[in-house]
Structures are given as C-alpha cells and as structure tokens.
Amino acid sequence: MKEKLKEHIEKLIPLTDDEFEFIVSHFSFETHKKNDFLIKQGKNVEHCYFVVSGLLKLVYDDAIGKQHIVSFAMEDWWESDFPAFFKQTKAKMSLQCIENTKVFAISFKNYQNLCVDFQKMERFFLKKSNSGHTASQNRILSFLTSNTKERYEQLLKQHPLLFQRVPKTLLASYLGVSRETLSRLSS
Amino acid sequence: MKEKLKEHIEKLIPLTDDEFEFIVSHFSFETHKKNDFLIKQGKNVEHCYFVVSGLLKLVYDDAIGKQHIVSFAMEDWWESDFPAFFKQTKAKMSLQCIENTKVFAISFKNYQNLCVDFQKMERFFLKKSNSGHTASQNRILSFLTSNTKERYEQLLKQHPLLFQRVPKTLLASYLGVSRETLSRLSS
DNA sequence: TTATTATTGTGATGTTTGTCACATAGAAAC
DNA sequence: GTTTCTATGTGACAAACATCACAATAATAA
C-alpha cells in the first residue's frame, strides 16, 4: 500500500526512504466499504484523503434533496471537502464510497506539521492545489463552451473507466443534466 | 501602489518592511489601457498579475469565434492563465483589460525564486491557490445546482459592483447563457 | 457636431432539456 | 427461488433556452 503513495509523491519530488517514512508516519491507512461516508455534509472534516484503490464521489445534497456530483475520486487522487478541511469548518459536501475503497488519511494537524517540518511536502501540496484549480477551471470551461453531448463525450474520452464503474445516474449528475437526457444521448 | 500589495499580503502573513521590499523587488508595476491584452491566447504566459486597480477579464475564444468568460479580476485579485503560467506553455486563454488597469506583475522565474528564497511567500501562494480552487468549485456547484436566474442573482449578490462596471453581454458569457436570455431575466 | 459603434431590449420560432409516467432487465436481499 | 430494489430506456408534454431579426438608446470617434 505504502508503495502507491511513495510512487505518487515521487512523480513530483524525489524522496529518500527515510524521508518517505517520515511522511507516511503522518498518515493513517483506512479501508472502507461501498456506501461508507468518509465525510458527511454538515459534520467536521477531519481528514484529507489519498485514494489507493476504489472509487469515491464528492457530492452536494441541495435543499430539495437532489444530489449533485462535484467530483469523482479514483486511484491516485487526493480528495476532501477542501474548503472545509483548510478552514476547519463544517462540511458543505459529502465524500462517499462508490466501491470498496482504500485510502491514506491525513489529519489537518498532521498536514500542517508536515508542511512546516518538511518543506518539500509543502511544495508538493502547492503543485497539487494548482492542478486541482486547473482541473476545476477546465470543468467550468466545458460548461461554458460545450453542450451536454459534447461534455459527455469529453468525459468518456478523459475517463473511459468511469463509464464502466459508475451508474449513468451519477454521470448525469456530474454533467449537470437529468438521467433521462443522458440516456437519450447514448441512443 | 506598493501599499496595496503590502496590505493584501499581510492579510495572510505579517511582514517586516525589509521583507516586503524584498518581495516587491520581484515584481514590476504596469499600467494598461482599456482593451489592452496582458495575455494573448496562443502566446507565452510571462507573468502572473496582482490587480491594484481596474478590471480584467479572463476569456477563452472557441473554435467558432465565440468568447467565453472564465473569470473577472478586480482589485485585490491575482490572475493569469495559471495552467500555462505554471507549466510555461502557450496560453489557452486571454487576459484583457475591461477598464484602465494597474497591476503588479511577477515573472515565472521570479515567482520560483521568491518561493525558494522566502518560504512564507510559498505558503502565501499555497493559500491563494487553495482559495482559487475553492472559488472554482463553488462556480461548478452553482452550475450544477442553480438555474440561470439563480446564478445571475448569486453573482449580483456576491459582486454588486460588477453589475455597474461590466456590459451585460459579458455577464451573460460568464453565466453561460445568451445575452438575450439574460436580458429577459431582468425584466 | 455628426457619424459610427456598442449596448440593450424584445418579438417570433425552433431546439434542447426537465419532469412525470411507465416498462424492462439486472442485482441484491431474503 | 422468490422478492425487492436499482438501473436504464423511452414516450408525452411543458419549460427553458438559443438564435435570428429588428429597433432604440448610449457611448465613442472623427
């Protein structure tokens, strides 16, 4: 399990074995079952997660009980309710398992300590934050420039595996259309 | 002019006068006129900008010549084509003045040097990146959960000044609807 | 000033999408 | 193995929206 995390970090910054052991000592390893919640809307956000295996959804439940998918998180992704995690406020969104999922979890305190004690890691998180920002901006751009069918095809092209693993209802929610409309696109 | 930047940074991290002088030496001050381009789609992205006064738009021109507003940048905002700035690739978007605008500009090299030489500033940029990510995610959420009228009202509520300073056509482009539809919402 | 351009409103019309309804196939539970 | 729930497709209809067209006013340039 640890190797996955090590390989992931080393894509951006080289590490000695000792350095990695220091890093990993800040994390706890967790196993979760399908439908488990890692974060629950309205509750405190204790951790930020690195997904080793499995699949998560970051969802927002609106006032009329509709569920909106802000993001999926697959292997090799970092996920949390980041605004709430960084400001240590109540979660605006839930993070829930679509499949059985294994993660490394880091608490806010450990996150801060790690950044202070090991500057390379702060740089790592900065780069991750930048790429998250970029991904969000691309998603905004796809809303602005593309119609539903085009967004659907872009999603399939970028993440073909998702198509196999996620019910269409969730894909529709991610794309911001009704499941009926999405269904009619495929046919 | 410098005071604006100093006050802005000190909202997150306290600075001595010497520290600030060191920071500001990495920036150049620029004055631009309405309609000037700071970044042009397809060209290199030399700088990241802090807006002292004025108003910018970050726009994407699509294949059929339609313009889409990714973001506005007002006083006290940081803006650039961040993906292209950080990866030093060609700009995917343009950054253009809606009004006469004054900015502090930092080159990629100076940005890197500043982060390495002055760790507090790296932390500052990390926090800015996080808040940018949060803002983008909120915008995605508004696309998922709200209809056009609601998004329009949210925008007016969050940035009432924008309503005065920006032609409706641009607001429509930011919201992802035609100017006609936006016009009919107001009446 | 006068000419030109940009901005905004609004009508008419067709397309896209959401919603409600019902049907079927498959998965999971018992 | 039977029941129950979930996922998915599809028809009918109404609401939301884009597009084209034209007009009027405001801002800018010559």
d(CA B147, CA B103): 35
pLDDT for B187 equals 66
Interface residue of A95, A112, A129 to substitute, partner B, most B CBs within 10 Å: A129
pLDDT digit string, tens, across residues B38-54: 999 999 999 999 999 99
Q: How far is the CA of A163 from the C1' of D8 (A)?
A: 14
Residue at shortest CA–C1' distance from C8: B183
**Ordered DSSP codes for chain B:** -HHHHHHHHHTTS---HHHHHHHHTTEEEEEE-TT-EEE-TTSB--EEEEEEES-EEEEEE-TTS-EEEEEEE-TT-EES-HHHHHHT-B-SSEEEESS-EEEEEEEHHHHHHHHHH-HHHHHHHHHHHHHHHHHHHHHHHHHHH--HHHHHHHHHHH-HHHHHHS-HHHHHHHHTS-HHHHHHHH-
pLDDT for A186 equals 80
**Chain A contact set for B70 (CB, 8 A):** 137, 140-141, 144
- List the single residue in A130, A139, A141 with the smallest CB-CB distance to B60: A141
Q: Backbone phi, then psi, for A155, in 5-degree steps?
A: -65, -45
Q: Do β-strands A56-61 and A78-79 pair in parallel, antiparallel, or remain unpaired?
A: unpaired
pLDDT digit string, tens, across residues B145-181: 999 999 999 999 999 988 889 999 999 999 999 999 9
pLDDT for B163 equals 83
The pLDDT tens digits along chain A (187 residues) read 899 999 999 999 999 999 999 999 999 999 999 999 999 999 999 999 999 999 999 999 998 889 999 999 999 999 999 999 999 999 999 999 999 999 999 999 999 999 999 999 999 999 999 999 999 999 999 999 999 999 999 999 999 888 889 999 999 999 999 999 999 998 6
Q: Quick check: B38 and B56 in contact, CB under 8 A?
A: yes
Number of Cβ pairs < 8 A linking chain A and chain B: 85
A149 CA: nearest nucleotide by C1' = C16
pLDDT level of residue B98 (50, 70, 90 thresholds): very high
Interface of A with B (CB under 8 A): 60, 62, 66, 68-70, 82-83, 86, 115, 119, 122-123, 125-127, 129-130, 132-134, 136-137, 139-141, 143-145, 173, 176
**Chain B contact set for A70 (CB, 8 A):** 137, 140-141, 144
d(CA B146, CA B94): 27
CB neighbours of B83 closer than 8 A, spacing ≥ 6?
A134, A137, B89, B92
Alpha-carbon gap: A42 to the closest alpha carbon of chain B (Å) = 17
Interface residue of B77, B123, B138, B145 to substitute, partner A, most A CBs within 10 Å: B145
d(CA B167, CA B73): 15
Average pLDDT over residues B98-103: 95
d(CA A24, CA A6): 9
A136 burial (CB, 10 Å; 0-12 / 13-18 / 19+) is buried
pLDDT for A187 equals 67
pLDDT level of residue B186 (50, 70, 90 thresholds): confident
If you search the block for the tokens 């269409």, which residue do you land on? A168
pLDDT for A106 equals 98
A178 CB-to-strand C distance under 7 Å: yes
Q: Write the CA distances from B89 to A142, A154, B54, B81, B128, integer angstroms.
A: 20, 22, 27, 10, 21
If you search the block for the tokens 């760790």, which residue do you land on? B119
B168 CB-to-strand C distance under 7 Å: yes
pLDDT for B47 equals 98
Residue at shortest CA–C1' distance from D6: A167
Alpha-carbon gap: A137 to the closest alpha carbon of chain B (Å) = 6
Closest CA to B47 of B130, B134, B116, B110: B110
B73 burial (CB, 10 Å; 0-12 / 13-18 / 19+) is buried
Tokens of B20: 């600030």
Q: Write the CA distances from A104 to A6, A49, A115, integer angstroms.
A: 11, 6, 17
Give the number of residues written for chain B.
Answer: 187
Amino acid at A80: S
**Chain A contact set for B133 (CB, 8 A):** 82, 129, 132-133, 136
Alpha-carbon gap: A104 to the closest alpha carbon of chain B (Å) = 21
Average pLDDT over residues B96-122: 96
Closest CA to A20 of A38, A32, A2: A2
pLDDT digit string, tens, across residues B53-69: 999 999 999 988 899 99
Q: Write the CA distances from A113 to A15, A118, B14, integer angstroms.
A: 18, 8, 20
Alpha-carbon gap: A164 to the closest alpha carbon of chain B (Å) = 23
